[in-house]
A = this chain, B = another copy of it.
Amino acid sequence: VELAHIDWLQRHTPPDPRLVAGIGDDAAVFAPFGAAPLVAAVDVITDLVDFRIAEVTPEQIGHKALGVNLSDLAAMAARPLAYLAALVLPQRVGDEPPAAELAQGIHRGMQRLATAHHVALAGGDTNTWSGPLAVSVTALGLCTGRGPLLRSGAQPGDWLLVTGPLGGSLLGRHLAVAPRVELMIALHAAYELHAAIDISDGLALDAARLATASACGVELDLAAIPVHDDAARMAQGTGRTPLDHALGDGEDFEILVAAPPAEAARMLAEAPRATQLTRVGQCVEEPGLWQRTGRGERIPLPPRGYQH
């Protein structure tokens, strides 16, 4: 539903001069009405889809609900300002914690992450119902002096870098989102970046989105993709390859960045080892998603990933 619905929304939403970027990027960017453009992102996570309430703590749910939004702001290289949270809480069922206790745990999880990233809680709404838990967070941020980093600025020839290893997030990392806020602000300040997207639905699918938004193609060098240990562990159970998990699992919440070759090379050379910046491919003229084989051939790569 989600992708088709976003398409539909883009076609049916009139352009508005107050928005520099609207539906279809990681976050909306407002035309400046002050010193810095405002950036806003919304994400909703739900029981049964994004977590299983019986298997996680309320704090983990809150952490993830805010974390996925901060990851969207990170992809814009925006500095988080504030968040608003809407909770729809199940009435107590069986052994589940009562609604108030659940709400407080979720807010504790959000607040811990918010404090770490200096984000203020600006508003909330809390309802109780007979359905399962849903948590919707809207995050607001401000662009730095370098302006927003959109999905749409990549150019053929740009190198593509990722900020960390991918795959197997379902083993736990999907809950412990570590949004790349500070790293992206630092990179955006020190280097000329062309475009970025956060990897929420899988490297292949999100790389294809960046390509589409930038009206170019993306060629991934599969041998270069940093595969997380979790992807290897997952692969033991699924019979798929670790690389396949790295390409398609999603919820990595790393950032895919496009930058001109000289800047990208400088970034890779200068980056502290801890950042784990890795080159995974490049932008090409031909639209679409491609892989480079060991023999240097370019063949189509299906943009598989988590389709909502």
Residues of A whose CB lies within 8 Å of any CB of B are 1-2, 4-6, 8-9, 12-14, 16, 18-19, 22-23, 27-28, 30, 32-36, 38, 40-50, 81-82, 84-89, 99-100, 103-104, 107-108, 111, 115, 120-132, 134, 136, 138, 140, 142, 308
Which residues of the partner chain B approach A8 to less than 8 Å between Cβ atoms? 100, 103-104
| Nearest neighbor of A120 in chain B, beta-carbon distance | B16
Judge whether B120 and A84 touch: CB under 8 Å. no
| Complex Cα spacing A132 to B133, Å | 11
Judge whether A131 and B48 touch: CB under 8 Å. yes
Q: A104-B8, A136-B136 are in contact. Are A42 and B85 (CB under 8 A)?
A: yes
Which residues of the partner chain B approach A45 to less than 8 Å between Cβ atoms? 127
| Nearest neighbor of A27 in chain B, beta-carbon distance | B123
| Complex Cα spacing A46 to B88, Å | 8
| Nearest neighbor of A72 in chain B, beta-carbon distance | B123
Judge whether B34 and A127 touch: CB under 8 Å. no
| Nearest neighbor of A115 in chain B, beta-carbon distance | B14
| Complex Cα spacing A111 to B82, Å | 25
Which residues of the partner chain B approach A48 to less than 8 Å between Cβ atoms? 129-131
Q: A19-B82, A19-B122, A46-B129 are in contact. Are A33 and B30 (CB under 8 A)?
A: no
Q: A1-B100, A134-B134 are in contact. Are A122 and B30 (CB under 8 A)?
A: yes
Which residues of the partner chain B approach A138 to less than 8 Å between Cβ atoms? 40, 42, 84, 86, 123, 138
Judge whether B5 and A126 touch: CB under 8 Å. yes
Which residues of the partner chain B approach A34 to less than 8 Å between Cβ atoms? 32-36
Judge whether B5 and A134 touch: CB under 8 Å. no
A99: contacting residue among B1, B103, B125, CB under 8 A: B1
Judge whether B308 and A127 touch: CB under 8 Å. yes
Q: A34-B33, A82-B28, A134-B134 are in contact. Are A121 and B13 (CB under 8 A)?
A: yes
A144 to chain B, nearest CB (A): 13
A5: contacting residue among B103, B115, B136, CB under 8 A: B103
Which residues of the partner chain B approach A1 to less than 8 Å between Cβ atoms? 89, 99-100, 103, 126-128
| Complex Cα spacing A89 to B5, Å | 12
| Nearest neighbor of A142 in chain B, beta-carbon distance | B33
Known: A19-B122, A40-B84. 20 other contacts (CB 8 A): A1-B103, A1-B128, A5-B100, A5-B103, A8-B100, A8-B103, A8-B104, A9-B124, A12-B111, A13-B121, A16-B121, A19-B120, A33-B34, A41-B84, A48-B129, A49-B128, A50-B127, A84-B138, A86-B136, A88-B88
Which residues of the partner chain B approach A121 to less than 8 Å between Cβ atoms? 9, 13, 16, 22-23
Q: List 26 A-B contacts (CB under 8 A).
A: A1-B100, A1-B127, A5-B126, A6-B124, A8-B100, A8-B104, A9-B124, A12-B104, A12-B107, A16-B120, A19-B82, A19-B120, A22-B121, A23-B124, A34-B34, A38-B140, A40-B82, A40-B84, A42-B138, A44-B127, A47-B131, A49-B128, A84-B138, A88-B134, A128-B308, A136-B136
